[in-house]
Structure 1
Amino acid sequence: DVHHGNGTQDCFYERGDVFFLSLHQWPHYPGTGAAGDLGRGKGEGTTLNFPMPGEIDESMWFACFEKGLEAVEEFNPDFVLVSSGFDSHREDPLGDFPLTEKSFERIAQQLVALSEGRRGMVSFLEGGYNLNALASSVSSYLQGQL
Protein backbone atom coordinates (compact mmCIF):
# COMPACT_ATOMS: atom_id res chain seq x y z
CA ASP A 1 0.00 0.00 0.00
CA VAL A 2 1.25 3.48 -0.73
CA HIS A 3 -0.13 4.56 2.69
CA HIS A 4 1.38 3.54 6.02
CA GLY A 5 -0.72 1.05 7.98
CA ASN A 6 -1.01 3.34 10.99
CA GLY A 7 -4.03 1.62 12.53
CA THR A 8 -2.51 -1.84 12.29
CA GLN A 9 0.82 -0.61 13.63
CA ASP A 10 -0.91 1.07 16.56
CA CYS A 11 -2.79 -2.14 17.47
CA PHE A 12 0.40 -4.19 17.76
CA TYR A 13 3.08 -1.60 18.60
CA GLU A 14 3.56 -2.82 22.18
CA ARG A 15 3.10 -6.55 21.51
CA GLY A 16 6.00 -8.90 21.05
CA ASP A 17 3.98 -11.69 19.43
CA VAL A 18 3.07 -9.87 16.18
CA PHE A 19 5.53 -8.56 13.59
CA PHE A 20 4.36 -5.55 11.57
CA LEU A 21 6.03 -4.64 8.26
CA SER A 22 5.06 -1.62 6.15
CA LEU A 23 6.45 -0.36 2.85
CA HIS A 24 4.89 3.00 2.07
CA GLN A 25 5.43 6.31 0.34
CA TRP A 26 6.99 9.05 2.47
CA PRO A 27 6.08 11.79 2.95
CA HIS A 28 2.48 10.87 2.32
CA TYR A 29 -0.81 10.62 4.18
CA PRO A 30 -1.18 9.76 7.07
CA GLY A 31 2.36 10.98 7.83
CA THR A 32 3.23 8.06 10.11
CA GLY A 33 5.57 5.11 9.76
CA ALA A 34 9.02 6.59 10.26
CA ALA A 35 11.99 4.24 9.94
CA GLY A 36 12.72 4.75 13.65
CA ASP A 37 9.29 3.46 14.71
CA LEU A 38 10.35 -0.02 15.84
CA GLY A 39 7.81 -0.88 18.53
CA ARG A 40 7.72 -0.16 22.26
CA GLY A 41 8.00 -2.22 25.42
CA LYS A 42 7.44 -5.91 24.66
CA GLY A 43 6.91 -4.91 21.03
CA GLU A 44 10.30 -3.28 20.59
CA GLY A 45 11.86 -4.68 17.43
CA THR A 46 8.61 -6.12 16.06
CA THR A 47 7.75 -3.15 13.84
CA LEU A 48 9.68 -2.44 10.65
CA ASN A 49 8.81 0.51 8.43
CA PHE A 50 10.26 1.29 5.02
CA PRO A 51 9.22 4.88 4.26
CA MET A 52 10.21 5.45 0.62
CA PRO A 53 10.08 8.38 -1.78
CA GLY A 54 7.53 8.06 -4.55
CA GLU A 55 10.27 8.31 -7.15
CA ILE A 56 11.85 5.02 -6.03
CA ASP A 57 12.44 2.55 -8.84
CA GLU A 58 11.07 -0.96 -8.82
CA SER A 59 14.41 -2.65 -8.08
CA MET A 60 14.91 -0.49 -4.98
CA TRP A 61 11.33 -1.16 -3.87
CA PHE A 62 11.95 -4.90 -4.12
CA ALA A 63 15.28 -4.58 -2.29
CA CYS A 64 13.38 -3.06 0.65
CA PHE A 65 10.62 -5.66 0.39
CA GLU A 66 13.11 -8.53 0.43
CA LYS A 67 14.93 -7.03 3.42
CA GLY A 68 11.56 -6.85 5.17
CA LEU A 69 10.79 -10.48 4.30
CA GLU A 70 14.12 -11.50 5.85
CA ALA A 71 13.09 -9.78 9.09
CA VAL A 72 9.71 -11.53 9.02
CA GLU A 73 11.42 -14.87 8.39
CA GLU A 74 13.70 -14.26 11.38
CA PHE A 75 10.66 -13.46 13.55
CA ASN A 76 9.19 -16.82 12.46
CA PRO A 77 5.44 -16.11 12.56
CA ASP A 78 2.78 -18.81 12.68
CA PHE A 79 0.64 -17.00 10.09
CA VAL A 80 1.30 -14.43 7.38
CA LEU A 81 -1.41 -11.75 7.22
CA VAL A 82 -1.16 -9.28 4.34
CA SER A 83 -2.86 -5.92 3.94
CA SER A 84 -2.82 -5.97 0.15
CA GLY A 85 -2.86 -2.38 -1.05
CA PHE A 86 -2.81 -1.88 -4.79
CA ASP A 87 -2.59 1.92 -4.79
CA SER A 88 1.16 1.45 -5.22
CA HIS A 89 0.48 0.65 -8.89
CA ARG A 90 2.22 3.14 -11.16
CA GLU A 91 -1.11 4.26 -12.67
CA ASP A 92 -2.87 4.87 -9.34
CA PRO A 93 -3.76 8.55 -8.81
CA LEU A 94 -3.02 8.57 -5.05
CA GLY A 95 0.62 7.52 -5.13
CA ASP A 96 3.85 7.64 -7.07
CA PHE A 97 5.18 4.10 -6.72
CA PRO A 98 6.42 2.19 -9.80
CA LEU A 99 4.71 -1.17 -9.33
CA THR A 100 2.95 -3.03 -12.16
CA GLU A 101 0.82 -6.14 -12.48
CA LYS A 102 3.99 -8.23 -12.81
CA SER A 103 5.25 -6.66 -9.59
CA PHE A 104 2.16 -7.80 -7.71
CA GLU A 105 2.50 -11.31 -9.11
CA ARG A 106 6.11 -11.39 -7.90
CA ILE A 107 5.09 -10.05 -4.48
CA ALA A 108 2.51 -12.82 -4.15
CA GLN A 109 5.04 -15.48 -5.13
CA GLN A 110 7.46 -14.25 -2.48
CA LEU A 111 4.74 -14.13 0.17
CA VAL A 112 3.64 -17.67 -0.67
CA ALA A 113 7.25 -18.82 -0.29
CA LEU A 114 7.41 -17.03 3.08
CA SER A 115 4.21 -18.72 4.25
CA GLU A 116 5.33 -22.25 3.35
CA GLY A 117 5.70 -24.39 6.45
CA ARG A 118 3.44 -22.06 8.43
CA ARG A 119 -0.26 -22.24 9.17
CA GLY A 120 -1.07 -20.21 6.09
CA MET A 121 -1.43 -16.79 4.54
CA VAL A 122 -4.46 -14.51 4.37
CA SER A 123 -4.61 -11.33 2.27
CA PHE A 124 -6.99 -8.46 3.00
CA LEU A 125 -7.90 -6.10 0.16
CA GLU A 126 -6.83 -2.53 0.88
CA GLY A 127 -6.52 0.49 -1.41
CA GLY A 128 -6.52 0.86 -5.17
CA TYR A 129 -8.14 3.88 -6.81
CA ASN A 130 -7.58 3.33 -10.51
CA LEU A 131 -10.19 0.62 -10.91
CA ASN A 132 -8.71 -0.84 -14.09
CA ALA A 133 -5.25 -1.07 -12.52
CA LEU A 134 -6.82 -2.44 -9.33
CA ALA A 135 -8.65 -5.23 -11.18
CA SER A 136 -5.62 -6.31 -13.19
CA SER A 137 -3.29 -6.03 -10.18
CA VAL A 138 -5.54 -8.16 -7.97
CA SER A 139 -5.79 -10.73 -10.76
CA SER A 140 -1.99 -10.85 -11.07
CA TYR A 141 -1.58 -11.05 -7.28
CA LEU A 142 -3.97 -14.01 -7.15
CA GLN A 143 -2.23 -15.66 -10.11
CA GLY A 144 1.06 -15.34 -8.23
CA GLN A 145 -0.39 -17.40 -5.40
CA LEU A 146 -1.09 -20.42 -7.61
Structure 2
Amino acid sequence: MDVIFSPDHALHASPGELNSGEFVPAFEKPERADIILRRAQEVGLGPVRAPLSFPPDHLTRIHDPRMVELLRNGAAEWKAAGRKGGAFPFTFFTRGFRADRVPETLEGRLAWFCFDAGTPLTETSWQAIESSAHVALTGAKAISEGARSMFALCRPPGHHAGSDHYGGYCFLNNAAIAAQYLLDQGAKRVAILDVDYHHGNGTQQIFYHRDDVLLVNIHATPDQEYPYLLGFADEPGAGPGEGYNLNLPLPWGTEWAAWSAALDAGCQRIAQYAPDVLLVSLGVDTYRNDPISQFKLDHEHFTRMGARIAALGLPTLFVMEGGYAVAEIGVNAVNVLTGFDGG
Protein backbone atom coordinates (compact mmCIF):
# COMPACT_ATOMS: atom_id res chain seq x y z
CA MET A 1 0.00 0.00 0.00
CA ASP A 2 1.58 3.27 -1.12
CA VAL A 3 1.69 6.17 1.34
CA ILE A 4 1.04 9.74 0.15
CA PHE A 5 2.76 12.24 2.43
CA SER A 6 3.80 15.89 2.36
CA PRO A 7 6.22 17.46 4.86
CA ASP A 8 4.26 20.68 4.32
CA HIS A 9 1.81 19.40 6.96
CA ALA A 10 4.20 20.77 9.60
CA LEU A 11 3.51 24.32 8.42
CA HIS A 12 0.27 24.18 10.40
CA ALA A 13 1.20 24.20 14.08
CA SER A 14 -1.59 25.50 16.29
CA PRO A 15 -0.57 27.95 19.03
CA GLY A 16 -3.14 26.26 21.29
CA GLU A 17 -6.85 25.76 21.81
CA LEU A 18 -9.60 26.70 24.25
CA ASN A 19 -10.52 23.51 26.12
CA SER A 20 -12.55 23.17 29.32
CA GLY A 21 -12.13 26.83 30.15
CA GLU A 22 -8.37 26.94 29.62
CA PHE A 23 -6.10 27.83 26.72
CA VAL A 24 -4.03 24.66 26.41
CA PRO A 25 -1.46 23.20 24.01
CA ALA A 26 -3.16 21.79 20.92
CA PHE A 27 -3.89 18.05 20.87
CA GLU A 28 -3.62 18.09 17.07
CA LYS A 29 0.11 18.58 16.48
CA PRO A 30 2.68 17.99 13.71
CA GLU A 31 4.27 15.00 15.45
CA ARG A 32 1.16 12.95 14.70
CA ALA A 33 1.86 12.64 10.99
CA ASP A 34 5.60 12.17 11.42
CA ILE A 35 5.11 9.29 13.86
CA ILE A 36 2.63 7.57 11.53
CA LEU A 37 5.03 7.92 8.60
CA ARG A 38 7.92 6.52 10.64
CA ARG A 39 5.86 3.50 11.67
CA ALA A 40 4.73 2.88 8.07
CA GLN A 41 8.37 2.86 7.01
CA GLU A 42 9.40 0.58 9.88
CA VAL A 43 6.93 -2.13 8.84
CA GLY A 44 7.56 -1.67 5.11
CA LEU A 45 3.98 -0.70 4.38
CA GLY A 46 4.83 0.57 0.91
CA PRO A 47 6.55 3.31 -1.08
CA VAL A 48 6.16 6.89 0.15
CA ARG A 49 5.03 9.28 -2.58
CA ALA A 50 4.79 13.06 -2.65
CA PRO A 51 1.43 14.57 -3.55
CA LEU A 52 0.70 15.92 -6.98
CA SER A 53 -0.67 19.42 -7.50
CA PHE A 54 -4.31 19.93 -8.46
CA PRO A 55 -6.27 22.98 -9.66
CA PRO A 56 -8.16 24.91 -6.98
CA ASP A 57 -11.54 24.03 -8.48
CA HIS A 58 -11.23 20.59 -6.88
CA LEU A 59 -11.54 22.36 -3.53
CA THR A 60 -14.45 24.56 -4.55
CA ARG A 61 -16.35 21.56 -5.96
CA ILE A 62 -16.96 20.87 -2.24
CA HIS A 63 -16.34 24.13 -0.37
CA ASP A 64 -17.73 27.66 -0.57
CA PRO A 65 -15.10 29.75 -2.42
CA ARG A 66 -15.47 32.48 0.22
CA MET A 67 -14.40 30.01 2.92
CA VAL A 68 -11.47 28.84 0.84
CA GLU A 69 -10.41 32.47 0.41
CA LEU A 70 -10.60 33.00 4.18
CA LEU A 71 -8.46 29.94 4.82
CA ARG A 72 -5.94 31.15 2.24
CA ASN A 73 -5.66 34.77 3.37
CA GLY A 74 -7.21 35.09 6.83
CA ALA A 75 -3.97 34.78 8.78
CA ALA A 76 -2.30 37.49 6.69
CA GLU A 77 -5.27 39.79 7.32
CA TRP A 78 -5.04 39.00 11.03
CA LYS A 79 -1.36 39.95 11.12
CA ALA A 80 -1.91 43.09 9.02
CA ALA A 81 -4.45 44.22 11.61
CA GLY A 82 -1.69 44.07 14.24
CA ARG A 83 -2.88 40.93 15.98
CA LYS A 84 -0.62 38.19 17.28
CA GLY A 85 -1.04 34.43 17.49
CA GLY A 86 -3.54 32.44 15.47
CA ALA A 87 -6.66 33.87 13.84
CA PHE A 88 -9.49 32.70 16.11
CA PRO A 89 -13.16 33.70 16.04
CA PHE A 90 -14.53 35.27 19.22
CA THR A 91 -18.20 34.94 18.36
CA PHE A 92 -20.02 32.20 16.46
CA PHE A 93 -22.92 31.88 14.05
CA THR A 94 -25.93 30.36 15.84
CA ARG A 95 -29.75 30.18 15.82
CA GLY A 96 -31.48 33.45 15.10
CA PHE A 97 -28.56 35.03 13.21
CA ARG A 98 -28.86 35.81 9.53
CA ALA A 99 -27.65 33.06 7.21
CA ASP A 100 -28.06 34.88 3.92
CA ARG A 101 -24.96 37.09 3.95
CA VAL A 102 -21.32 36.80 4.93
CA PRO A 103 -19.91 39.79 6.85
CA GLU A 104 -17.16 41.88 5.25
CA THR A 105 -14.77 42.14 8.19
CA LEU A 106 -12.29 39.42 9.07
CA GLU A 107 -13.87 39.02 12.51
CA GLY A 108 -17.29 38.58 10.94
CA ARG A 109 -16.07 36.03 8.41
CA LEU A 110 -14.29 34.03 11.11
CA ALA A 111 -17.54 34.04 13.11
CA TRP A 112 -19.56 32.93 10.08
CA PHE A 113 -17.29 30.14 8.82
CA CYS A 114 -15.55 28.75 11.96
CA PHE A 115 -17.53 26.91 14.63
CA ASP A 116 -15.05 26.36 17.48
CA ALA A 117 -12.01 27.80 19.26
CA GLY A 118 -9.65 24.94 18.44
CA THR A 119 -8.95 25.59 14.77
CA PRO A 120 -6.81 28.72 14.38
CA LEU A 121 -5.21 29.99 11.19
CA THR A 122 -1.51 30.81 11.31
CA GLU A 123 0.64 32.53 8.69
CA THR A 124 1.73 29.20 7.19
CA SER A 125 -1.44 27.16 7.74
CA TRP A 126 -2.76 27.48 4.18
CA GLN A 127 0.19 25.66 2.62
CA ALA A 128 -0.41 22.74 5.00
CA ILE A 129 -4.19 22.81 4.46
CA GLU A 130 -3.86 22.81 0.67
CA SER A 131 -1.19 20.11 0.68
CA SER A 132 -3.40 17.89 2.86
CA ALA A 133 -6.16 18.10 0.27
CA HIS A 134 -3.64 17.34 -2.48
CA VAL A 135 -2.48 14.28 -0.53
CA ALA A 136 -6.06 12.97 -0.57
CA LEU A 137 -6.52 13.87 -4.24
CA THR A 138 -3.31 12.07 -5.17
CA GLY A 139 -4.56 8.93 -3.45
CA ALA A 140 -7.91 9.26 -5.22
CA LYS A 141 -6.19 9.65 -8.57
CA ALA A 142 -4.23 6.44 -7.98
CA ILE A 143 -7.42 4.57 -7.07
CA SER A 144 -9.15 5.91 -10.18
CA GLU A 145 -6.25 4.56 -12.23
CA GLY A 146 -6.57 1.05 -10.80
CA ALA A 147 -4.73 0.91 -7.47
CA ARG A 148 -6.34 -1.51 -4.97
CA SER A 149 -5.49 0.57 -1.90
CA MET A 150 -3.75 3.81 -0.95
CA PHE A 151 -3.03 5.63 2.30
CA ALA A 152 -3.40 9.42 2.20
CA LEU A 153 -1.52 10.57 5.29
CA CYS A 154 -3.45 13.83 5.54
CA ARG A 155 -2.74 16.50 8.08
CA PRO A 156 -4.59 18.69 9.03
CA PRO A 157 -7.51 16.27 9.18
CA GLY A 158 -10.79 17.06 7.47
CA HIS A 159 -14.00 15.30 8.46
CA HIS A 160 -15.41 18.11 10.65
CA ALA A 161 -15.19 20.64 7.79
CA GLY A 162 -18.46 21.19 5.94
CA SER A 163 -19.18 22.92 2.68
CA ASP A 164 -19.23 26.34 4.36
CA HIS A 165 -17.84 25.82 7.87
CA TYR A 166 -14.68 24.55 9.51
CA GLY A 167 -13.61 23.49 13.01
CA GLY A 168 -12.55 20.49 15.03
CA TYR A 169 -8.94 20.84 13.78
CA CYS A 170 -10.32 20.50 10.21
CA PHE A 171 -10.22 23.16 7.49
CA LEU A 172 -10.98 21.37 4.20
CA ASN A 173 -12.77 18.03 4.04
CA ASN A 174 -10.09 15.85 2.47
CA ALA A 175 -12.28 12.73 2.21
CA ALA A 176 -15.15 14.64 0.60
CA ILE A 177 -12.81 16.31 -1.89
CA ALA A 178 -11.38 12.90 -2.79
CA ALA A 179 -14.85 11.36 -3.11
CA GLN A 180 -15.97 14.11 -5.48
CA TYR A 181 -12.81 13.63 -7.55
CA LEU A 182 -13.58 9.92 -7.91
CA LEU A 183 -17.11 10.70 -9.03
CA ASP A 184 -15.80 13.24 -11.52
CA GLN A 185 -13.45 10.58 -12.88
CA GLY A 186 -16.32 8.20 -13.60
CA ALA A 187 -17.21 6.39 -10.39
CA LYS A 188 -20.99 6.04 -10.10
CA ARG A 189 -21.17 5.25 -6.40
CA VAL A 190 -18.73 6.05 -3.60
CA ALA A 191 -18.98 4.94 0.02
CA ILE A 192 -17.27 6.66 2.95
CA LEU A 193 -16.74 4.77 6.20
CA ASP A 194 -15.79 7.10 9.05
CA VAL A 195 -14.27 5.22 12.00
CA ASP A 196 -13.04 8.25 13.94
CA TYR A 197 -14.19 8.55 17.55
CA HIS A 198 -15.89 11.87 16.75
CA HIS A 199 -18.75 12.15 14.30
CA GLY A 200 -17.81 13.37 10.81
CA ASN A 201 -20.34 16.18 10.86
CA GLY A 202 -18.80 18.00 7.92
CA THR A 203 -18.89 14.96 5.64
CA GLN A 204 -22.50 14.34 6.62
CA GLN A 205 -23.51 17.92 5.83
CA ILE A 206 -21.80 17.82 2.43
CA PHE A 207 -23.48 14.63 1.21
CA TYR A 208 -26.74 14.60 3.19
CA HIS A 209 -28.94 15.28 0.16
CA ARG A 210 -27.06 13.04 -2.28
CA ASP A 211 -27.40 9.39 -3.28
CA ASP A 212 -24.08 9.02 -5.11
CA VAL A 213 -22.17 8.92 -1.80
CA LEU A 214 -23.13 6.61 1.05
CA LEU A 215 -21.77 7.76 4.40
CA VAL A 216 -21.44 5.45 7.41
CA ASN A 217 -20.26 6.98 10.69
CA ILE A 218 -19.29 4.95 13.79
CA HIS A 219 -18.69 7.40 16.62
CA ALA A 220 -19.37 8.52 20.17
CA THR A 221 -22.97 9.60 20.69
CA PRO A 222 -23.43 13.36 20.34
CA ASP A 223 -25.50 13.22 23.52
CA GLN A 224 -22.12 12.94 25.26
CA GLU A 225 -19.40 13.97 22.86
CA TYR A 226 -18.11 16.60 20.42
CA PRO A 227 -19.43 17.86 18.02
CA TYR A 228 -22.65 17.39 20.07
CA LEU A 229 -25.08 18.84 17.50
CA LEU A 230 -25.01 16.20 14.76
CA GLY A 231 -24.53 12.46 14.45
CA PHE A 232 -27.72 10.99 15.91
CA ALA A 233 -29.18 7.73 14.64
CA ASP A 234 -32.31 9.47 13.32
CA GLU A 235 -30.43 11.32 10.57
CA PRO A 236 -30.88 9.09 7.49
CA GLY A 237 -30.29 11.71 4.80
CA ALA A 238 -32.85 13.89 3.07
CA GLY A 239 -34.42 14.24 -0.36
CA PRO A 240 -32.47 12.12 -2.87
CA GLY A 241 -30.07 11.29 -0.04
CA GLU A 242 -32.63 9.68 2.23
CA GLY A 243 -31.32 6.28 3.25
CA TYR A 244 -27.73 7.11 2.28
CA ASN A 245 -26.54 8.38 5.67
CA LEU A 246 -26.06 5.85 8.46
CA ASN A 247 -25.01 7.01 11.92
CA LEU A 248 -24.01 4.36 14.45
CA PRO A 249 -23.50 6.31 17.70
CA LEU A 250 -22.09 4.51 20.73
CA PRO A 251 -21.79 5.51 24.41
CA TRP A 252 -18.70 6.39 26.40
CA GLY A 253 -16.80 3.32 27.50
CA THR A 254 -17.57 1.29 24.37
CA GLU A 255 -15.25 -1.73 24.03
CA TRP A 256 -14.34 -3.83 21.01
CA ALA A 257 -17.33 -6.18 21.10
CA ALA A 258 -19.88 -3.40 20.69
CA TRP A 259 -17.68 -1.35 18.39
CA SER A 260 -17.02 -4.29 16.05
CA ALA A 261 -20.75 -5.08 15.96
CA ALA A 262 -21.31 -1.53 14.70
CA LEU A 263 -18.54 -2.04 12.15
CA ASP A 264 -20.24 -5.20 10.91
CA ALA A 265 -23.52 -3.31 10.54
CA GLY A 266 -21.79 -0.52 8.66
CA CYS A 267 -19.96 -2.93 6.36
CA GLN A 268 -23.19 -4.76 5.61
CA ARG A 269 -24.79 -1.49 4.54
CA ILE A 270 -21.79 -0.68 2.35
CA ALA A 271 -21.94 -4.12 0.72
CA GLN A 272 -25.65 -3.59 0.04
CA TYR A 273 -24.91 -0.24 -1.60
CA ALA A 274 -22.27 -1.91 -3.82
CA PRO A 275 -20.03 1.12 -4.38
CA ASP A 276 -17.32 1.35 -6.99
CA VAL A 277 -14.84 2.55 -4.39
CA LEU A 278 -14.56 2.94 -0.61
CA LEU A 279 -12.99 5.79 1.31
CA VAL A 280 -12.14 5.29 4.98
CA SER A 281 -11.91 8.36 7.20
CA LEU A 282 -9.31 6.80 9.47
CA GLY A 283 -9.34 8.17 12.99
CA VAL A 284 -7.65 6.10 15.69
CA ASP A 285 -8.86 8.16 18.65
CA THR A 286 -11.03 5.17 19.59
CA TYR A 287 -7.85 3.93 21.34
CA ARG A 288 -8.28 3.29 25.07
CA ASN A 289 -5.58 5.81 26.10
CA ASP A 290 -6.57 8.66 23.82
CA PRO A 291 -6.53 11.85 25.92
CA ILE A 292 -9.76 13.36 24.54
CA SER A 293 -11.80 10.22 23.85
CA GLN A 294 -13.72 7.63 25.83
CA PHE A 295 -13.67 4.35 23.86
CA LYS A 296 -11.62 1.29 24.81
CA LEU A 297 -10.07 -0.20 21.68
CA ASP A 298 -6.55 -1.64 21.90
CA HIS A 299 -3.73 -2.16 19.41
CA GLU A 300 -4.88 -5.56 18.12
CA HIS A 301 -8.40 -4.28 17.51
CA PHE A 302 -7.12 -1.88 14.86
CA THR A 303 -5.61 -4.81 12.97
CA ARG A 304 -8.95 -6.61 13.09
CA MET A 305 -10.68 -3.45 11.92
CA GLY A 306 -8.49 -3.35 8.83
CA ALA A 307 -9.16 -7.01 8.06
CA ARG A 308 -12.93 -6.49 8.29
CA ILE A 309 -12.77 -3.53 5.92
CA ALA A 310 -10.66 -5.58 3.49
CA ALA A 311 -13.35 -8.28 3.44
CA LEU A 312 -15.56 -5.85 1.48
CA GLY A 313 -13.25 -6.44 -1.47
CA LEU A 314 -13.35 -2.84 -2.68
CA PRO A 315 -10.70 -0.46 -3.98
CA THR A 316 -10.03 1.52 -0.83
CA LEU A 317 -8.51 4.90 -0.05
CA PHE A 318 -7.63 5.51 3.60
CA VAL A 319 -7.65 9.21 4.56
CA MET A 320 -6.07 10.08 7.90
CA GLU A 321 -8.26 11.89 10.43
CA GLY A 322 -7.93 11.98 14.24
CA GLY A 323 -5.97 10.24 16.97
CA TYR A 324 -4.33 12.11 19.84
CA ALA A 325 -2.47 9.46 21.87
CA VAL A 326 0.56 10.63 19.95
CA ALA A 327 3.08 8.04 21.12
CA GLU A 328 0.84 5.18 19.97
CA ILE A 329 -0.75 6.78 16.89
CA GLY A 330 1.71 5.18 14.51
CA VAL A 331 1.11 1.66 15.77
CA ASN A 332 -2.67 2.07 15.76
CA ALA A 333 -3.00 3.70 12.34
CA VAL A 334 -0.58 1.34 10.63
CA ASN A 335 -2.19 -1.69 12.31
CA VAL A 336 -5.39 -0.86 10.40
CA LEU A 337 -3.46 -0.72 7.16
CA THR A 338 -1.49 -3.92 7.68
CA GLY A 339 -4.68 -5.63 8.82
CA PHE A 340 -6.26 -4.55 5.54
CA ASP A 341 -3.27 -5.91 3.63
CA GLY A 342 -3.45 -9.23 5.45
CA GLY A 343 -0.42 -8.70 7.65
How far did residue 65 of structure 1 move?
1.0
1:14 to 202, 206, 209: 209
Runs of 4+ in structure 1 off by over 3 angstroms are none
The residue that corresponds to 2:261 in the other structure is 63
How far did residue 57 of structure 1 move?
2.3
The residue that corresponds to 1:130 in the other structure is 325
The residue that corresponds to 2:225 in the other structure is 28
Q: Distance in 1 between matches of 2:237 and 2:302?
A: 28
Partner deviation per Cα, 1:41-60 (whole Å, 9 max, x = no partner): 00000000011101222101
1:72 to 270, 276, 284: 270
RMSD over aligned Cα, in angstroms? 0.9
Q: Identity rate of aligned residues, in percent?
A: 36
**Structure index of larger Rg:** 2
How far did residue 131 of structure 1 move?
0.8
Higher relative contact order (CA 8 A, sep 6+): 1
Q: Which amino acid aligns with 1:77?
A: P
Q: Distance in 1 between matches of 2:266 and 2:340?
A: 19
Aligned length: 143
* TM-score (norm. length: structure 2): 0.41
Q: Which amino acid aligns with 1:109?
A: A
Task: Spell out the pairing of 1:45-60 with structure 2 (5 A cutoff).
Answer: 45-60=243-258
The residue that corresponds to 1:90 in the other structure is 288
Q: Which amino acid aligns with 2:226?
A: Y
Task: Spell out the pairing of 1:98-109 with structure 2 (5 A cutoff).
Answer: 98-109=296-307
SS at match of 1:127: coil
Asked if the contact 1:92–1:133 (Cα under 8 Å) also holds between the matched residues in 2, the reply is no
Q: Distance in 1 between matches of 2:327 and 2:243?
A: 38
Gap runs ≥5 in structure 1:
none
Q: Distance in 1 between matches of 2:316 and 2:205?
A: 22
Q: Which amino acid aligns with 1:90?
A: R
Asked if the contact 1:88–1:99 (Cα under 8 Å) also holds between the matched residues in 2, the reply is yes
Partner deviation per Cα, 1:47-89 (whole Å, 9 max, x = no partner): 0001110122210111111011111110111101000001111
* TM-score (norm. length: structure 1): 0.94
Q: Distance in 1 between matches of 2:328 and 2:252?
A: 18
Q: Distance in 2 between matches of 1:102 and 1:110?
A: 13
Partner deviation per Cα, 1:108-133 (whole Å, 9 max, x = no partner): 1111111x1x4x10000111111122
